[in-house]
Amino acid sequence: MGRRFRLTVAYDGSGFHGFAEHEGVRTVMGDLRAAMERVLQVPMPLVGAGRTDAGVHAWGQVVSGDVPDGMDDAGLADLERRLNKMLGPEIAVRDGAFTADPEFSARFSATYRHYRYLVHNAPVHHPLLARTAWHIRQPLALWAMNLACDPIIGEHDFSTFCRRPKPVEGQQPVSLVRRIISAEWFEVPSQVPGDLPGLLRFEIRATAFCHQMVRSLVGTMVDVGLGRLHAGEMRGMLLRRDRAAAGQVAPPHGLMLWEVGYSDADGGPSR
Protein backbone atom coordinates (compact mmCIF):
# COMPACT_ATOMS: atom_id res chain seq x y z
CA MET A 1 0.00 0.00 0.00
CA GLY A 2 1.56 3.30 -1.10
CA ARG A 3 0.75 6.95 -0.53
CA ARG A 4 -1.90 8.44 -2.82
CA PHE A 5 -0.77 11.58 -4.68
CA ARG A 6 -2.12 13.96 -7.29
CA LEU A 7 -0.14 15.89 -9.89
CA THR A 8 -1.25 18.88 -11.95
CA VAL A 9 0.21 18.43 -15.42
CA ALA A 10 0.47 20.80 -18.39
CA TYR A 11 1.42 19.74 -21.91
CA ASP A 12 1.65 20.77 -25.54
CA GLY A 13 -0.35 18.02 -27.23
CA SER A 14 0.97 18.69 -30.74
CA GLY A 15 3.40 15.77 -30.79
CA PHE A 16 1.23 13.22 -29.00
CA HIS A 17 -1.52 10.79 -30.04
CA GLY A 18 -3.67 12.02 -27.18
CA PHE A 19 -3.35 11.73 -23.41
CA ALA A 20 -4.38 8.14 -22.67
CA GLU A 21 -1.96 5.30 -23.35
CA HIS A 22 -2.25 3.36 -26.61
CA GLU A 23 0.16 0.66 -27.66
CA GLY A 24 2.53 1.62 -30.43
CA VAL A 25 2.02 5.39 -30.33
CA ARG A 26 3.40 8.21 -28.21
CA THR A 27 0.99 9.59 -25.60
CA VAL A 28 1.27 12.01 -22.69
CA MET A 29 0.35 9.40 -20.08
CA GLY A 30 2.77 6.93 -21.62
CA ASP A 31 5.69 9.36 -21.39
CA LEU A 32 4.73 10.40 -17.85
CA ARG A 33 4.36 6.85 -16.57
CA ALA A 34 7.63 5.71 -18.18
CA ALA A 35 9.49 8.63 -16.59
CA MET A 36 8.01 7.93 -13.14
CA GLU A 37 8.89 4.24 -13.37
CA ARG A 38 12.44 5.12 -14.40
CA VAL A 39 12.83 7.34 -11.33
CA LEU A 40 11.04 5.14 -8.77
CA GLN A 41 11.97 1.71 -10.19
CA VAL A 42 8.47 0.32 -9.50
CA PRO A 43 5.36 -0.14 -11.70
CA MET A 44 3.26 3.05 -11.67
CA PRO A 45 -0.41 2.66 -12.66
CA LEU A 46 -1.79 6.17 -13.16
CA VAL A 47 -5.28 7.68 -13.53
CA GLY A 48 -5.97 10.87 -15.49
CA ALA A 49 -8.88 13.28 -15.10
CA GLY A 50 -9.61 13.59 -18.82
CA ARG A 51 -8.78 11.73 -22.04
CA THR A 52 -7.74 14.57 -24.36
CA ASP A 53 -7.50 13.73 -28.07
CA ALA A 54 -4.47 13.93 -30.33
CA GLY A 55 -3.32 17.54 -30.69
CA VAL A 56 -5.29 18.83 -27.68
CA HIS A 57 -3.33 20.68 -24.99
CA ALA A 58 -3.69 20.97 -21.21
CA TRP A 59 -2.82 23.40 -18.46
CA GLY A 60 -4.69 21.71 -15.61
CA GLN A 61 -4.75 17.98 -16.32
CA VAL A 62 -4.73 15.98 -13.07
CA VAL A 63 -3.07 12.60 -12.56
CA SER A 64 -3.32 10.39 -9.48
CA GLY A 65 -1.53 7.28 -8.31
CA ASP A 66 0.44 5.75 -5.45
CA VAL A 67 4.11 6.13 -4.59
CA PRO A 68 5.93 3.73 -2.26
CA ASP A 69 5.44 4.11 1.49
CA GLY A 70 8.12 6.25 3.08
CA MET A 71 8.16 9.01 0.48
CA ASP A 72 7.59 12.39 2.17
CA ASP A 73 6.85 15.88 0.82
CA ALA A 74 10.53 16.47 0.09
CA GLY A 75 10.67 13.22 -1.85
CA LEU A 76 7.61 14.18 -3.89
CA ALA A 77 9.13 17.60 -4.65
CA ASP A 78 12.32 15.87 -5.82
CA LEU A 79 10.24 13.56 -8.02
CA GLU A 80 8.56 16.58 -9.63
CA ARG A 81 11.95 18.19 -10.30
CA ARG A 82 13.33 15.05 -11.91
CA LEU A 83 10.20 14.50 -14.00
CA ASN A 84 10.32 18.04 -15.35
CA LYS A 85 13.96 17.59 -16.30
CA MET A 86 13.11 14.39 -18.18
CA LEU A 87 9.80 15.45 -19.78
CA GLY A 88 10.40 19.08 -20.71
CA PRO A 89 9.65 21.11 -22.68
CA GLU A 90 6.48 19.37 -23.93
CA ILE A 91 5.24 18.16 -20.52
CA ALA A 92 5.46 19.97 -17.19
CA VAL A 93 4.43 18.84 -13.71
CA ARG A 94 3.13 22.13 -12.29
CA ASP A 95 2.60 20.91 -8.75
CA GLY A 96 2.04 17.80 -6.71
CA ALA A 97 0.67 16.88 -3.32
CA PHE A 98 -0.31 13.90 -1.23
CA THR A 99 -4.03 13.58 -0.63
CA ALA A 100 -5.65 12.70 2.68
CA ASP A 101 -8.22 10.52 0.92
CA PRO A 102 -6.71 7.12 0.06
CA GLU A 103 -9.59 6.55 -2.40
CA PHE A 104 -8.99 9.79 -4.32
CA SER A 105 -9.17 9.36 -8.11
CA ALA A 106 -8.21 12.07 -10.59
CA ARG A 107 -11.08 10.87 -12.77
CA PHE A 108 -13.87 9.72 -10.47
CA SER A 109 -13.39 12.33 -7.70
CA ALA A 110 -13.64 15.25 -10.13
CA THR A 111 -16.68 17.52 -9.76
CA TYR A 112 -16.16 19.43 -13.03
CA ARG A 113 -13.87 19.83 -16.05
CA HIS A 114 -13.19 23.22 -17.60
CA TYR A 115 -12.00 23.63 -21.19
CA ARG A 116 -10.83 26.63 -23.18
CA TYR A 117 -10.83 27.00 -26.95
CA LEU A 118 -8.92 29.74 -28.79
CA VAL A 119 -9.95 31.20 -32.14
CA HIS A 120 -7.77 33.74 -33.95
CA ASN A 121 -10.19 35.83 -36.02
CA ALA A 122 -8.08 38.02 -38.30
CA PRO A 123 -7.41 38.40 -42.03
CA VAL A 124 -3.80 37.20 -41.68
CA HIS A 125 -2.65 34.20 -39.66
CA HIS A 126 -0.34 34.67 -36.67
CA PRO A 127 2.60 32.21 -36.74
CA LEU A 128 2.97 32.23 -32.95
CA LEU A 129 -0.65 31.08 -32.56
CA ALA A 130 -0.48 28.34 -35.20
CA ARG A 131 -0.21 25.51 -32.64
CA THR A 132 -2.76 26.82 -30.13
CA ALA A 133 -5.55 28.69 -31.97
CA TRP A 134 -7.89 28.02 -34.90
CA HIS A 135 -7.36 30.75 -37.51
CA ILE A 136 -10.55 32.02 -39.17
CA ARG A 137 -10.23 34.83 -41.72
CA GLN A 138 -13.91 35.79 -42.12
CA PRO A 139 -15.32 38.13 -39.44
CA LEU A 140 -17.24 36.37 -36.66
CA ALA A 141 -20.31 37.77 -34.89
CA LEU A 142 -19.35 37.21 -31.25
CA TRP A 143 -22.78 38.28 -30.00
CA ALA A 144 -24.44 35.52 -32.06
CA MET A 145 -21.97 32.90 -30.80
CA ASN A 146 -22.83 33.86 -27.23
CA LEU A 147 -26.55 33.55 -27.98
CA ALA A 148 -25.82 30.03 -29.19
CA CYS A 149 -24.43 29.19 -25.73
CA ASP A 150 -27.71 29.73 -23.90
CA PRO A 151 -29.56 26.57 -25.05
CA ILE A 152 -26.76 24.21 -24.02
CA ILE A 153 -26.63 25.33 -20.35
CA GLY A 154 -28.05 22.68 -18.03
CA GLU A 155 -28.54 18.94 -18.43
CA HIS A 156 -29.17 17.65 -21.94
CA ASP A 157 -28.60 14.67 -24.18
CA PHE A 158 -25.64 15.80 -26.32
CA SER A 159 -25.88 13.03 -28.92
CA THR A 160 -25.89 15.71 -31.64
CA PHE A 161 -22.52 17.03 -30.50
CA CYS A 162 -20.70 13.82 -29.51
CA ARG A 163 -19.05 10.96 -31.31
CA ARG A 164 -21.15 8.02 -30.15
CA PRO A 165 -19.14 5.12 -28.68
CA LYS A 166 -19.23 1.83 -30.57
CA PRO A 167 -21.97 -0.44 -29.19
CA VAL A 168 -20.87 -3.40 -27.10
CA GLU A 169 -22.86 -6.57 -27.54
CA GLY A 170 -24.97 -7.38 -24.50
CA GLN A 171 -24.58 -3.91 -22.96
CA GLN A 172 -26.90 -0.92 -22.87
CA PRO A 173 -25.90 2.08 -25.08
CA VAL A 174 -23.73 4.61 -23.26
CA SER A 175 -25.64 7.68 -22.06
CA LEU A 176 -24.59 10.96 -23.66
CA VAL A 177 -26.48 13.10 -21.13
CA ARG A 178 -24.17 15.76 -19.69
CA ARG A 179 -24.64 18.84 -17.46
CA ILE A 180 -23.13 22.11 -18.66
CA ILE A 181 -22.45 24.52 -15.80
CA SER A 182 -21.31 27.52 -17.87
CA ALA A 183 -20.40 28.41 -21.46
CA GLU A 184 -19.37 31.79 -22.87
CA TRP A 185 -17.29 33.45 -25.58
CA PHE A 186 -14.90 36.34 -24.81
CA GLU A 187 -12.74 38.71 -26.79
CA VAL A 188 -9.25 38.47 -25.28
CA PRO A 189 -8.04 42.03 -24.57
CA SER A 190 -4.59 42.91 -25.90
CA GLN A 191 -2.07 43.90 -23.23
CA VAL A 192 -0.24 46.04 -25.78
CA PRO A 193 -1.93 47.80 -28.73
CA GLY A 194 -1.70 45.52 -31.74
CA ASP A 195 -0.46 42.63 -29.56
CA LEU A 196 -2.84 39.82 -30.59
CA PRO A 197 -5.84 41.40 -32.30
CA GLY A 198 -8.79 39.17 -33.01
CA LEU A 199 -8.14 36.54 -30.34
CA LEU A 200 -11.39 34.96 -29.07
CA ARG A 201 -11.72 32.49 -26.21
CA PHE A 202 -14.51 30.02 -25.50
CA GLU A 203 -14.86 28.89 -21.87
CA ILE A 204 -16.98 25.87 -21.01
CA ARG A 205 -17.41 24.00 -17.73
CA ALA A 206 -19.32 20.75 -17.20
CA THR A 207 -19.45 17.85 -14.80
CA ALA A 208 -18.15 15.69 -17.68
CA PHE A 209 -17.82 15.73 -21.47
CA CYS A 210 -18.24 13.09 -24.14
CA HIS A 211 -15.91 12.47 -27.09
CA GLN A 212 -15.42 15.52 -29.38
CA MET A 213 -18.21 17.39 -27.56
CA VAL A 214 -16.36 20.70 -27.06
CA ARG A 215 -14.91 20.72 -30.56
CA SER A 216 -18.32 20.00 -32.09
CA LEU A 217 -19.95 22.77 -30.05
CA VAL A 218 -17.20 25.23 -31.00
CA GLY A 219 -17.41 24.35 -34.69
CA THR A 220 -21.18 24.75 -34.69
CA MET A 221 -20.97 28.09 -32.86
CA VAL A 222 -18.36 29.31 -35.34
CA ASP A 223 -20.83 28.44 -38.11
CA VAL A 224 -23.32 30.64 -36.23
CA GLY A 225 -20.74 33.43 -36.04
CA LEU A 226 -20.16 33.14 -39.79
CA GLY A 227 -23.89 33.34 -40.51
CA ARG A 228 -24.15 29.79 -41.83
CA LEU A 229 -26.46 28.86 -38.95
CA HIS A 230 -28.71 30.84 -36.58
CA ALA A 231 -28.28 30.82 -32.81
CA GLY A 232 -31.94 29.89 -32.47
CA GLU A 233 -31.24 26.58 -34.20
CA MET A 234 -29.08 25.28 -31.33
CA ARG A 235 -32.02 24.03 -29.25
CA GLY A 236 -33.48 22.19 -32.21
CA MET A 237 -30.12 20.53 -32.89
CA LEU A 238 -29.96 19.30 -29.30
CA LEU A 239 -33.46 17.86 -29.47
CA ARG A 240 -32.77 16.01 -32.73
CA ARG A 241 -30.01 13.91 -31.11
CA ASP A 242 -28.54 13.43 -34.56
CA ARG A 243 -24.82 13.91 -35.22
CA ALA A 244 -25.60 15.02 -38.77
CA ALA A 245 -27.53 18.03 -37.42
CA ALA A 246 -24.43 19.69 -35.94
CA GLY A 247 -22.07 22.02 -37.75
CA GLN A 248 -18.39 21.46 -38.43
CA VAL A 249 -16.00 19.99 -35.85
CA ALA A 250 -13.33 22.46 -34.76
CA PRO A 251 -9.69 21.32 -35.12
CA PRO A 252 -8.02 19.92 -31.99
CA HIS A 253 -5.11 22.35 -31.64
CA GLY A 254 -7.27 25.22 -30.33
CA LEU A 255 -8.55 23.17 -27.39
CA MET A 256 -7.05 23.08 -23.89
CA LEU A 257 -8.07 21.29 -20.70
CA TRP A 258 -7.77 24.28 -18.41
CA GLU A 259 -8.90 23.10 -14.99
CA VAL A 260 -10.36 20.14 -13.12
CA GLY A 261 -12.39 20.75 -9.96
CA TYR A 262 -12.56 18.68 -6.79
CA SER A 263 -14.16 19.07 -3.40
CA ASP A 264 -12.22 21.08 -0.81
CA ALA A 265 -11.29 17.84 0.93
CA ASP A 266 -9.52 16.73 -2.26
CA GLY A 267 -7.63 19.97 -2.68
CA GLY A 268 -9.89 22.14 -4.83
CA PRO A 269 -9.35 22.93 -8.53
CA SER A 270 -6.21 22.30 -10.58
CA ARG A 271 -5.35 25.88 -11.34
Active site positions, annotated: 53
d(CA 206, CA 169): 29
Looking at residue 42, its amino acid is V
- What does the buried/exposed string (b/e) look like for 147-159 if buried means 16 or more CB atoms within 10 Å of the residue's CB? bbbebbeeebebb
